[in-house]
Structure 1
Amino acid sequence: MSERWARTVLAAYRFAGAAAFPLVGPYVAWRATKGKEDPTRRYERSGYAGKPRPEGPLIWAHAASVGETIAIVPLIESILGYGVNVVLTTGTVTSAQVAEERLGDSIIHQFVPLDLKPAIGRFLNHWQPDLAIIAESEIWPMTIMELGYRRIPQVLVNGRLSERSFQSWKKRANIAEALFENLSHVVAQSEVDAERFEALGARPVTVSGNLKVDTNPPPVDGRALHAISRQLSLRPTWAAVSTHEGEERMAAEIHLMLRSRHPGLLTIIVPRHPERAAALADEFAAMGLRSVTRSSGDRIRSDTDILLGDTIGEMGLYLRLTEIAFVGRSLTAEGGQNPLEPAMLETAVLAGRNVQNFREAYQRLIDGGAAKLVANRDMLAGAVNFLLLNDATRRKMMAAGAATVEDMRGALGKTLKALEPFIHPLVVKARLKGVR
């Protein structure tokens, strides 16, 4: 595909988006009925602003979902410390809640506009950002092109390209180059990610490591932790967190396999999508298991088999209730989920082998003796059983997790160094204007 043809395709995408814009309202309304949009803020997805633009320099930061939002919180806090305003966009209701919990009124939060010319144009006309910082792997053609057209510097931080995404972009190399040439800088998570971005035409590219390592451990409500810990007493526990369809049933089957060997065993299951909790509770009941959902507030009794974590923002609670955690989307689904939060909370980490999206983090944890990968349900059951029986091995993995995470820190400083040429002029401008 020639460069001219690639630009023709992108121009067609631009006009197709404009033609489809009248359908945005019904589409977002439908998503709101499914709980995927905040019905009171649907207009933000069309680019309408929910708040006035503050005076002075403004940075637009974007994080797609919960993981990306948590990852860039320390980066945003550092930028705020320079005296520059930040408007943070996210794409999900849960990530908006995390932004509110972690950053509060220190930033302006908006839902990200859909990648359509009218929506993006309206958003940029109002906010007029001086710099755009995009987290991880959010590659939206219209957004990138519009920022480039307006000569607004855009930097991709904590950049990651999965093998699947890379191969897909390689088939459209000219389109990738036409888009990535608009990026002022790519700060990649790993050398592999950096090589992939460079192969697709991004320049310059540097490596920072994973920003998720430089975050604080997930917070916890101390009173809730104390209350539930008292209910559990000294019962043995293990957790399956960030699970996807099929992995919850697998965890329940493992509970059935192990409870006779470990009297009083409690299994903690935290699905990636909490809205599935009601259906999961019914499924567990059909298996003869007694479950309690966290949102119900019901007491965990001695005959409770499963604590079903169906709340947002309480991963810190669930992980502090156990010393063994299986991290999902790794056995029945592909890509994996972030293992760093369990590791930094000194939890022995188990996962399936499909962890491509967090390959470097898992490799470091495995090499450090903090994590083990399993091939199937029976191997996972065996690993949980072994760790429950062997205190010394379990505690060695727990300590290794915290130590490995500490060794991996430093991505925040490297990212700030890469951003310095873009942020420093804004800091000077803000001081000269006397804003904030």
Structure 2
Amino acid sequence: MSFPIVFKAYRAAVSVLEPAVLGLLYWRRHKGREDRTRLGERQGYPSRQRPKGHLIWVHGASIGETLSLLPIVERMTQRGLTVLVTSGTKTSASLIARRLPPGAIHQFVPLDVPRYTRRFLEHWQPDLALIAESEIWPNTIMALAERDIPLVMVNGRMSDRSYRRWQKMPRIIKGLLDQFALCLAQTAEDAERLARLGAPRVIVTGNIKFDAAPPPADPRMVAHLSGMIAGRPVWLAASTHPGEESVIVAVHRALAKRYPQLLTIIAPRHPHRGPEVSALAGQAGLRAGRRSEGIHPDRATDVYVVDTVGEMGLFYRLSPVVLMGGTLVPVGGHNPIEPAKLGAAILHGPHVHTATEIYEALDRSRGALMVKDSATLARAVNELLSNAALTRDMARKAGEAVQALGGAVDRTMQSVEPFIVQAKLGARR
């Protein structure tokens, strides 16, 4: 397998810089961003034996991408295949481990260092690799190609920002996309961008996140907390980022005059920011409690900070109104599909460029409403809290909009079926 000189130069440069990469890894461990007990996995050292038989490698970078792959993982394990699921964050690892079906294994993905990648592939020897969305790591892609392991992009996405960036490096991106046996795109726009950048085989299959089951919750905890907050107006700000919590706190203060028992729940995107969010509420004169400290939202709690992992299914079920974070600041918006499936009316800001399709569908169906600032957010929350019929109608329309966009998992499985057959027959491209 021959690669352009620029790829060989990149590989050589990363190899030379391996000590610096290792130093970065240890710095991340010191900051709590890596799992201390599994740091070897980031260097390609396995912490599990490879099961016998055919193995499919499935990778999602973050928690949302990894969870969206679960229906595909389940379909493959039901067919007797072992599935190795990798992700790159502590949050995704702790959550995915609780949801993997029998026959699936989780490991942290190794960093894109030649020795790490080689070590990883020599141990796991996958028959097929499925990589979600827009993960393009040159050394990993080259290593897969050199071993004739078919590589498929699933739930492929190419944002306008990434597209413009890659257009400045046409030979590099074409050389990388050439190594994909197939690219399965979320939308026609994603497919067109991938094709223009040089992907030789592109199919539109839709967004598999629409088919993911809603996050689970312990019914006993749902009942317990429902009883604690019964009779109180409640709303939730989910997956928030710096700059958004101050707006949410201001909205709470504005609405508290009309709703003295108002409970505002804030779930920061990164749970380690819990103390920061709690302090922000305290500075505004509000009584805040943090979930990670074992505090429950009693009658004295104004703002409840959910700084734990894997509990969004619980709080989506408790909150009839949900503001999606990452939309009031230019992050691009987080996935609103889960609250839509769990019966919430959805609010969002103007910054939704990473999930345009779903937000447009929700807005069109009137299952979601865009707000621009604290004033419009306060008006929207006030209207929904004061009008239960309107809230229920929005929630119903949001659920219907999400359901209408389903079917991507079936189309994805149909598209990768030839590669699964090849894997079972022991043949490679």
- TM-score class, shorter-chain normalisation, is over 0.9
> How far apart are 1:420 and its partner, in Å?
0.4
The counterpart of 1:319, out of the listed 316, 320, 323, is 316
Give the secondary structure class of the aligned counterpart of 2:391.
Answer: helix
Determine whether 1:140 maps to 2:137: yes
TM-score after normalising by structure 2: 0.97
Deviations 1:103-130 (A, max 9, x none): 0653121110101111111111111111
User: For the aligned residues, what is the CA RMSD?
Assistant: 1.5
2: distance between equivalents of 1:300 and 1:365? 30
> How far apart are 1:294 and its partner, in Å?
1.2
Determine whether 1:45 maps to 2:42: yes
Write the letter of the residue equivalent to 1:337.
Answer: H
Determine whether 1:342 maps to 2:339: yes
> How far apart are 1:427 and its partner, in Å?
3.5
> How far apart are 1:298 and its partner, in Å?
2.0
Determine whether 1:270 maps to 2:270: no
> How far apart are 1:259 and its partner, in Å?
0.9
Give the secondary structure class of the aligned counterpart of 1:338.
Answer: coil
Alignment of 1:152-163 (within 5 A): 152-163=149-160
Determine whether 1:412 maps to 2:409: yes
**Segments of 4+ in structure 1 off by > 3 A?**
427-430
Deviations 1:120-142 (A, max 9, x none): 11111111111100011111111
Conserved 8 A contact 2:241-2:326: yes
Name the residue aligned to 1:63.
Answer: 60
Percent of aligned positions that are identical: 44
The counterpart of 2:378, out of the listed 377, 381, 386, is 381
Name the residue aligned to 1:92.
Answer: 89
Write the letter of the residue equivalent to 1:427.
Answer: K
Determine whether 1:120 maps to 2:117: yes
Name the residue aligned to 1:433.
Answer: none
> How far apart are 1:25 and its partner, in Å?
3.1
> How far apart are 1:64 and its partner, in Å?
0.5
Conserved 8 A contact 1:371-1:397: yes
Gaps of 5+ in 1: 431-436
Give the secondary structure class of the aligned counterpart of 1:281.
Answer: helix
Change (3 A) 1:429 1:12: closer
Alignment of 1:415-434 (within 5 A): 415-428=412-425
2: distance between equivalents of 1:371 and 1:105? 37
Give the secondary structure class of the aligned counterpart of 2:69.
Answer: helix
The counterpart of 2:254, out of the listed 229, 242, 257, is 257
Write the letter of the residue equivalent to 1:57.
Answer: H
Give the secondary structure class of the aligned counterpart of 1:307.
Answer: strand
Conserved 8 A contact 1:69-1:98: no
Count the aligned residue pairs.
426
2: distance between equivalents of 1:209 and 1:319? 25
Conserved 8 A contact 1:83-1:427: no
Change (3 A) 1:429 1:144: closer
1: distance between equivalents of 2:296 and 2:115? 51
Determine whether 1:293 maps to 2:283: no
1: distance between equivalents of 2:95 and 2:296? 26
Deviations 1:91-110 (A, max 9, x none): 00111112111106531211
The counterpart of 1:228, out of the listed 225, 230, 237, is 225
Name the residue aligned to 2:305.
Answer: 308
Give the secondary structure class of the aligned counterpart of 1:357.
Answer: coil
Name the residue aligned to 2:73.
Answer: 76
Conserved 8 A contact 1:56-1:429: no
2: distance between equivalents of 1:202 and 1:371? 35
> How far apart are 1:342 and its partner, in Å?
0.9
Write the letter of the residue equivalent to 1:397.
Answer: M
Most deviating of 150-159 and 389-398 = 389-398
2: distance between equivalents of 1:338 and 1:300? 25
1: distance between equivalents of 2:57 and 2:379? 47
1: distance between equivalents of 2:101 and 2:58? 15
